[in-house]
Amino acid sequence: MSDFTNSFWPIFITVISLAGVFGCALLLWLTSKIKANSPNGDNTNGHVWDENLREMNNPLPRWWVWMFIITIVFSLFYFVSYPSLGANPGKLGWTQAKQYEQEMAVANEKIAPLYAKYAAMPIDQLAGNKEAKAIGERLFMNNCAQCHGSDAHGSKGFPNLTDNDWIHGGSPEKITETITNGRIGMMPPMAAAVGNEEDVKNVANYVLSISGNKHDSARAALGKEKFAACAACHGADGKGNQAIGSLNLTDGIWLHGAGEEAIIKRINHGITNQMPAQSAKFSPEQIHVLTAYVWGLSNNANHQ
């Protein structure tokens, strides 16, 4: 318990807690009987209001007292057993973190058999399994949809998972790898390597031309030569390389924005794009089911 930086507070809490409990005990003892100036036997307690209104003594049953005593004893045991009195960690060693871990262990144990039956199934079979698909859909909705969209069609900077255009590879093994370890896609700023501002614009037009987009063909012809600087990663034909995660520039899919302006920006500034690793969140069996769902999005034409 190092939650307090000042040692005054643990002492403060200890004093308040103990004073509270012992105060209750004292109060209980003090109020168990009273001295009353009343005629013997008339069963009034001597309190008089409004001239002649007298209070009758209706004693509570004695077991009430035992209830109070039990709560006092309980609180003393609680002080000893659980984190309390400011700095006492408690004999039972209970912490919130431990309880969370225990509950997670119980929950994981409960869902393990559910995933176990899918663990041995190959991905293509699993993608056709309705039950597994429903589980995968829920896992995706709760964990992946925030970035890739509920429909997995992605958006600017977040790849579309349904179009069979894979940056790091679309085989089940590669998808599992991506989910488990995450990915970092990094393109350095290339302006210096390409040349001056005009060269950058020419290269951008060349890139537009190889994907069949609207372009200035004169500039594209000039840019073709300068594209050599890009070819190291994107390949001479501009089709990219899944091994290093360089994008295919010929397929008309623009992860970071379409058009001349967006491409010039990328050449000038580069970009770093990251998908975080999910291994801490899921068990390998869960990732297996999720892989099947994601793989099925682009490899299984007959949805439902």
Partner 1 sequence: MRSSNNLKASTNTDAPKEATVIHLYAAAEKIYPRSTFGFFTKWRWAMIWLTQIVFYGTPWIEWGNRQALLFDLEAKRFYIFNLVLYPQDLIYLTAILIISALSLFLFTAIAGRLWCGYTCPQTVYTEIFLWIEAKIEGDRAARIKLDNAGLSSQKLIKKSSKHFVWIALSLWTGFTFVGYFSPIRELGSAVVNLGLGPWETFWIGFYGFATYGNAGFMREQVCKYMCPYARFQSAMFDDDTLVVTYDEARGEPRGSRSRKADLTNQNLGSCIDCSMCVQVCPTGIDIRKGLQYECIGCGACADVCDTVMDKMGYARGLIKYSTQTAIVNGWSHTQMLKRIMRPRVMIYAATLILLVTTLCTSLWLRSPFKVDVIRDRGVMARLAEGGMLENVYRLQIMNATESAQHYQLSATGLDGLVVQSDALDANRTVIVNAAETRGVPVRLQIPDGSVKSGSHAVAFSIHAVEDDATVTEKSIFLVPR
Nearer to partner 1, 5 or 142 (CB): 142
CA distance 278 to 273: 16
Nearer to partner 1, 202 or 286 (CB): 286
Q: What element of type H or E holds 46?
A: strand 44-49
Nearer to partner 1, 6 or 58 (CB): 58
Nearer to partner 1, 25 or 193 (CB): 25
Nearer to partner 1, 175 or 194 (CB): 175
Establish if 151 lies at the interface with partner 1 (CB under 8 A): yes
Displacement of CA 42 from its chain's centroid (Å): 70
Token pair recorded at residue 66: 């035992």
Rounded least distance, CB 211 to partner 1, Å:
15
Q: Are 233 and 239 within 8 A, CB to CB? A: no
Nearer to partner 1, 63 or 97 (CB): 63
Closest among 32, 64, 58 to 45, alpha carbons compared: 58
For residue 161, what is the DSSP state?
S
Give the binding-site size for partner 1 (rule: CB under 8 A).
46
Among 12, 64, 74, 94, binds partner 1 (CB under 8 A): 64
Among 90, 119, 153, 170, binds partner 1 (CB under 8 A): 153
For residues 31 to 60, the per-residue mask of contacts with partner 1, x marking binding by CB under 8 A and - elsewhere, is xxxxxxxxxx----xxxxxxx-----x-xx
Rounded least distance, CB 23 to partner 1, Å:
18
Establish if 281 lies at the interface with partner 1 (CB under 8 A): no
* 168-177 CB contacts, 8 Å cutoff, 24+ apart: 168/242, 168/245, 169/242, 170/295, 170/298, 170/299, 172/122, 172/123, 172/124, 172/291, 172/292, 172/295, 174/242, 175/291, 175/294, 175/295, 176/287, 176/288, 176/291
Rounded least distance, CB 252 to partner 1, Å:
10
Question: What residues line the site for partner 1 (CB under 8 A)?
Answer: 31-40, 45-51, 57, 59-65, 134, 137-138, 141, 145-156, 158, 162, 297, 303-304
